[in-house]
Amino acid sequence: MPVITLSLTINAPIQKVYDAARNIDLHQGSMSHTNERAVAERTSGLIELGESVTWEAKHFGVMQQLSVQITEMSPPYKFTDEMTRGAFSRFTHQHLFGISKILTSKPHVNIYQKPNSFLNYQLCSLGNRQFSDG
């Protein structure tokens, strides 16, 4: 299965970065270019272990929904959300946090399996090409 890893270094305390990553309102604000919004289950505030959220956004010209559940949480070092419904056959998103001097690092690890649907497969392939081509 493909794995995409992205990493950020943030000049802020680890707990603030951890809470910001779980903040549904902040995520919606940062994704305004896709009109992403939380439409079901937990739709605002800090998501917690066992809670779910359904996101709706337009990607590649198609309105899509993705439902995820927080399946693992070890504050302030890690939480994992896993797809329960959406375009992929499987999607796991690990949020990892560490401290280096006064900076907090926040790697994202996305593990996914492409969907069975031909249209969804083509959309995902297009997205992967655009992502890898920079």
Parse the chain into domains and list their residue ranges.
3-132
CATH code for the structural domain at 3-132: 3.30.530.20
In whole angstroms, what is the distance from residue 118 CA to residue 115 CA? 8
pLDDT in tens, 17-56: 999 999 999 999 999 888 999 999 999 999 999 999 999 9
Structure tokens at 93: 């998103």
| Mean pLDDT across 92-115 | 82
pLDDT in tens, 56-77: 998 888 899 999 999 999 999 9
In whole angstroms, what is the distance from residue 56 CA to residue 49 CA? 21
User: How much is the pTM?
Assistant: 0.80
Structure tokens at 133: 């081509």
Q: What is the pLDDT of residue 59?
A: 83
Report which of 89, 84, 87 is spatially closest to residue 119, judged by C-alpha positions.
Answer: 87
Asked whether residue 94 carries a pLDDT value surpassing 70, the answer given is yes
| Mean pLDDT across 77-86 | 96
Are 65 and 54 in contact, with CB atoms under 8 Å apart?
yes
